[in-house]
């Protein structure tokens, strides 16, 4: 702690460049460990200096300062401290850096925003700050959908996880489900984006979170949005189906051919299957999935997940959805499963079973 106090004066933005560089390099090294981060976040003055240095006229100094925040906010407690102390100046600063097509640190600032929205209890606060900036989410979506938006070779892939994190909150989901702006529709094609697992996974995480709200299911499954093909296509493999099954499948999934490959990342497959599980909440959703051969796609996915290439957690998720789809509505007996009253002891048993299944 004494060493930190000693270098504090040299972290001032007004200090000599060589002194700032050496001191900041030491701080950046400390952010590489959990213990180092715990030490740094105890000193609010140091964090304030770091924030100032992100705007230093020296590119190397500014870069190291932003990287310090990337590392600090990667730890949940670090993210909590940064949000508690610096939310007001940090969010507009990061937002403007991402929006600037000539900024060289846009990717790093994307990661900071992603980190501070990852914990669910922080997401709502950051979202409130973001939406206070007029059309902020809409502009960020434009940055995301224009793949070569940044002229300094920043990819902005971490906007994907940011959107997923933002949609953890109800207010965030409302922004993406605003029918007049069409934001969700603009992001949906990136569910199939092959260039970056980060970008693809973020888009799918957003889709899964939006599916959590059963009040928008009718809209999501309507001809306007038609999200089912976006969910099913990555889950489908090269398997052949008879004409009757193909006729029921969404057009994009009919007669795919022997070269069709499934999504390789098991976490992504699991999110897609969990999206289907959310759509099973209402009777209308369940009937729609049955009518469009969702069961047949999941049946083949189940076979795949049972092989050495498969994943146990995805397998469990598939079985949960199939268990619902193969039942008749009379057997299910509820129109909306989210409105069912589940006794606390049953909830506890389900949670225990889920934990054991994921081990």
pLDDT value at residue 5: 86
Backbone angles phi, psi at 336, to 5 degrees: -125, 110
Note whether residue 314 is domain-resident.
yes
Copy the structure tokens of residue 63: 């870069």
b vs e for 298-310, b when ≥16 Cβ sit within 10 Å of the residue's Cβ?
Answer: bebbbebbeeeeb
Residue 214 corresponds to which tokens in the numbers above?
């059963």
In a domain, 327, yes or no: yes
The pLDDT, as a whole number, for residue 355 is: 55
Number of domains in the chain: 1
Whole-number average pLDDT of the chain: 92
Cα gap 354→182, rounded to integer Å? 36
Sequence-separated (6 or more) residues with CB below 8 Å from residue 220? 210, 211, 227, 279
> For position 351, what pLDDT does the model report?
45
Task: For residue 260, tell me if it sits in a domain.
Answer: yes
- Within-domain flag for 143: no
- Any domain includes 353: yes
Residue 295 domain boundaries: 213-358
Q: What is the pLDDT of residues 330-349, one digit of tens each?
A: 777 776 665 544 345 433 43
DSSP for 79-145, written as a single string: HHHHHHHHHHHHHHHHHHHHH-TT-SSHHHHHHHHHHHHSSHHHHHHHHHHHHTSTTHHHHHHHHHH
Q: Is residue 248 part of a domain?
A: yes
DSSP tag of 252: G
**Which residues contact residue 146 at a Cβ distance below 8 angstroms, ignoring those fewer than 6 apart?**
none
Which residues, in sequence order, are CB contacts of 134 under 8 Å at separation 6+?
A: none
Is 230 among the domain residues? yes
* CA 359/CA 350 separation, integer angstroms: 15
Confidence of residue 29 (pLDDT cuts 50, 70, 90): very high
CA–CA distance, 94 with 111 (Å, rounded to integer): 10
The Cα–Cα gap between 202 and 283 comes to: 28
- For residue 172, the model assigns a pLDDT of 94
Residue 253 in contact with residue 297, Cβ under 8 Å?
A: yes
**What was the pLDDT predicted at 357?**
46
DSSP string computed for 184-223: HHHHGGGGG--S-HHHHHHHHHHHHHHHT-GGGHHHHTST
How far is it, in rounded angstroms, from Cα 72 to Cα 78? 5
| 78 belongs to a structural domain | no
Q: What angle do CA 187, 188, 192 make, to 5 degrees?
A: 110
Residue whose token pair is 């964090």: 47
- Rounded to an integer, the average pLDDT of 111-128 is 96
Mean pLDDT, rounded, for 84-100: 97
- Could you report the per-residue pLDDT of 284-313, keeping only the tens digit for each? 999 999 999 999 999 999 999 999 999 999
**Residue 9 token pair:** 């004066």
Residues present in the chain in total: 359
Summarised one tens digit per residue, pLDDT across range 174-194 is 999 999 999 999 999 999 999
Q: What are phi and psi of 282, to 5 degrees?
A: -110, 155
Encoded tokens for 221: 């499954």
- 87: tokens are 């939310």
Q: What integer is the mean pLDDT of 23-39? A: 96
């Amino acid at each position: 702690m004494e060493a930190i106090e000693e270098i504090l004066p040299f972290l001032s933005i007004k200090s000599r460049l060589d002194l700032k560089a050496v001191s900041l390099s030491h701080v950046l090294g400390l952010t590489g460990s959990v213990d180092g981060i715990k030490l740094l976040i105890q000193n609010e003055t140091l964090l304030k200096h770091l924030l100032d240095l992100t705007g230093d006229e020296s590119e190397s100094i500014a870069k190291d300062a932003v990287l310090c925040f990337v590392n600090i906010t990667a730890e949940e407690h670090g993210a909590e401290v940064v949000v508690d102390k610096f939310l007001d100046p940090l969010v507009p600063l990061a937002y403007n850096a991402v929006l600037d097509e000539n900024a060289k640190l846009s990717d790093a600032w994307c990661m900071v925003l992603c980190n501070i929205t990852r914990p669910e209890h922080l997401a709502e606060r950051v979202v409130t700050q973001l939406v206070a900036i007029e059309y902020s989410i809409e502009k960020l979506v434009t940055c995301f959908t224009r793949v070569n938006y940044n002229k300094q070779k920043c990819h902005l892939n971490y906007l994907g996880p940011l959107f997923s994190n933002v949609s953890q909150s109800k207010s965030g989901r409302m922004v993406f489900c605003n029918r007049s702006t069409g934001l969700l529709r603009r992001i949906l094609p990136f569910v199939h984006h092959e260039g970056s697992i980060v970008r693809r996974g973020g888009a799918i995480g957003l889709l899964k979170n939006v599916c959590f709200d059963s009040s928008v299911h009718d809209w999501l499954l309507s001809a306007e949005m038609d999200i089912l093909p976006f969910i099913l296509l990555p889950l489908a493999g090269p398997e052949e189906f008879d004409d009757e099954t193909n006729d029921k499948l969404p057009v994009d999934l009919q007669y795919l051919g022997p070269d069709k490959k499934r999504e390789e990342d098991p976490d992504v497959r699991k999110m897609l299957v969990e999206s289907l599980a959310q759509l099973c909440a209402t009777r209308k959703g369940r009937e729609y999935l049955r009518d469009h051969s969702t069961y047949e796609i999941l049946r083949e996915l189940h076979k795949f997940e049972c092989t050495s290439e498969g994943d146990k957690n995805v397998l469990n998720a598939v079985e949960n959805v199939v268990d619902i789809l193969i039942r008749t509505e009379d057997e299910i007996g509820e129109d909306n499963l989210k409105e069912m009253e589940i006794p606390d002891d049953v909830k506890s048993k389900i949670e225990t079973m889920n934990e054991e299944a994921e081990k």
